[in-house]
Amino acid sequence: MAISLVNEERIQIENKVSNIEQLKIDLIAPRENMDNQSNGQHATIQESQKSQRKTNRKKPDGIATNDLIFSAYVGNNSDLFPLVMSLYVPPGSIVADVTYGKGVFWRKIPKGTYQLYATDLKTGVDCRNLPYENNSIDCVVFDPPYMHTPGGTAHNGHQNYEEYYKNNKGYKSDKKYHEAVLDLYFSGAKEAYRVLKNKGILIIKCQDEVCANKQRLTHVEIIVELEKMGYLTEDLFVLVRNGKPGVSRIIKQRHARKNHSYFLVFRKKETRK
Ligand SMILES: C[S@@+](CC[C@H](N)C(=O)[O-])C[C@H]1O[C@@H](n2cnc3c(N)ncnc32)[C@H](O)[C@@H]1O
């Protein structure tokens, strides 16, 4: 008797469990179906949006080419300078070349492409005191001497700072050697900042040097200082000289002989009024 009662209770419990399972199935299945259905709908909408987007999508502009201006060239200033200008300075712009020298940079640029103001210390205009209004120039080109070797002959005829300043005592800096070179770059860049329009371009030519056996990466020093002044660095071009430059005397070579220089391109950051 007791055994059959236990059996009955077990059967009742099993039925209850099976009812609950069925209930679960009844409750969950339609939801899953609904989800599947709505997922299906969602997927169809996504598909149609995708294909619509495909048909609406414009073909990307531009062409594939390697006919470009590159960051490194073998050649001369007069080969590379026109490329730098064509990338950053639109024709018709007002350009002040404040260290014009012999005008080598301009040899391959057709006359009249830019409104060129050409000055140099030799013609009586110091790049640290330019005869232009504030914010009036689109581009300043600046190529001062690369080296300072007072009394020395090591760099004769090679962008020698001392050579340019021997007859211009009034313009001499109290700094010497590499520090004098940097001083001229920094003070010239500061004056350029004054005369440049907002977003105007400053193109600097420079070369690193080993001075008193110390490696001086002039281009890095210039970039660091000019960014503090409010310039953005836009570009850096490397110019590798043709041929093999020598030295006048050597016992043991300690550093790589430099056969490259740089054009650095800066933009004056927009100043708020
Ligand atoms: C490397 S040369 C420039 C060469 C020039 N880019 C060219 O294409 O012929 C350096 C020039 O900077 C000039 N210079 C030196 N100190 C100067 C200064 N404080 N202000 C203006 N020009 C200066 C020199 O007279 C010299 O002509």
Ligand 1 neighbours, Cβ below 6 Å, are: 98-99, 101-105, 120-122, 126-128, 143-145, 159, 164, 171
Mutate to test the pocket of ligand 1, among 84, 85, 164 (most ligand atoms within 8 A of CB): 164
For residue 227, the CA-to-ligand 1 centroid distance in Å is: 23
For residue 143, the CA-to-ligand 1 centroid distance in Å is: 6
pLDDT (tens digit, 0 to 9) for every residue of the chain, 273 residues total?
Answer: 455 555 666 666 566 555 545 544 444 334 444 444 445 555 565 666 666 666 677 788 999 999 999 999 999 999 999 999 999 999 999 999 999 999 999 999 999 999 999 999 999 999 999 999 999 999 999 999 987 655 544 444 445 555 555 544 444 567 888 999 999 999 999 999 999 999 999 999 999 999 888 999 999 999 999 999 999 999 999 999 998 888 888 889 999 999 999 999 999 998 765
| pLDDT of amino acid 101 | 97
Supply the pTM of this predicted model: 0.76
Cα–Cα distance between 49 and 162 in angstroms, integer? 71
| pLDDT of amino acid 45 | 59
- CA 159 to ligand 1: nearest atom: 1
| pLDDT of amino acid 6 | 57
| pLDDT of amino acid 28 | 39
For residue 165, the CA-to-ligand 1 centroid distance in Å is: 10
For residue 154, the CA-to-ligand 1 centroid distance in Å is: 19
- CA 77 to ligand 1: nearest atom: 8
| pLDDT of amino acid 42 | 54
Give the residue, by CA position, lying nearest to ligand 1 atom 8. Answer: 104
Mutate to test the pocket of ligand 1, among 120, 160, 209, 263 (most ligand atoms within 8 A of CB): 120
For residue 173, the CA-to-ligand 1 centroid distance in Å is: 15
| pLDDT of amino acid 172 | 57
Cα–Cα distance between 207 and 159 in angstroms, integer? 10
For residue 112, the CA-to-ligand 1 centroid distance in Å is: 22
| pLDDT of amino acid 238 | 98
For residue 238, the CA-to-ligand 1 centroid distance in Å is: 20
